Amino acid sequence: MDQRISFVTLAVTDLEASRRFYLDGLGWTEDLYVEGDVCMIQVGERLVFSLWQREHFEAEVGVVAAGPGVAPLTLAHNVATPAEVDAVLALARRAGAETVGEPQEREWGGYTGYFADPDGFRWEVATNPGEIGQKVLP
Q: Which spans of this chain sit near a copy of itself (rule: CB under 8 A)?
A: 1-11, 26-29, 31-32, 40-49, 54, 57, 61-78, 88, 91-92, 114, 119, 121-122, 124, 126, 130, 132, 135-138
C-alpha of 12 from chain center: 12
Smallest gap, in angstroms, from Cβ of residue 43 to a copy of itself? Answer: 5
Smallest gap, in angstroms, from Cβ of residue 75 to a copy of itself? Answer: 5
On whether the CB atoms of residues 48 and 39 are closer than 8 A, the answer is no
Nearer to a copy of itself, 16 or 75 (CB): 75
Nearer to a copy of itself, 16 or 137 (CB): 137
What is the C-alpha separation between 26 and 65, in angstroms, rounded?
Answer: 28
Smallest gap, in angstroms, from Cβ of residue 19 to a copy of itself? Answer: 14
What is the C-alpha separation between 41 and 97, in angstroms, rounded?
Answer: 19
Q: How would you list the strands of the sheet with 111-116, edge to edge?
A: 104-105, 111-116, 122-127
Nearer to a copy of itself, 4 or 16 (CB): 4
Nearer to a copy of itself, 20 or 28 (CB): 28
C-alpha of 21 from chain center: 11
Smallest gap, in angstroms, from Cβ of residue 58 to a copy of itself? Answer: 8
Helix H or strand E encompassing 83? helix 82-94
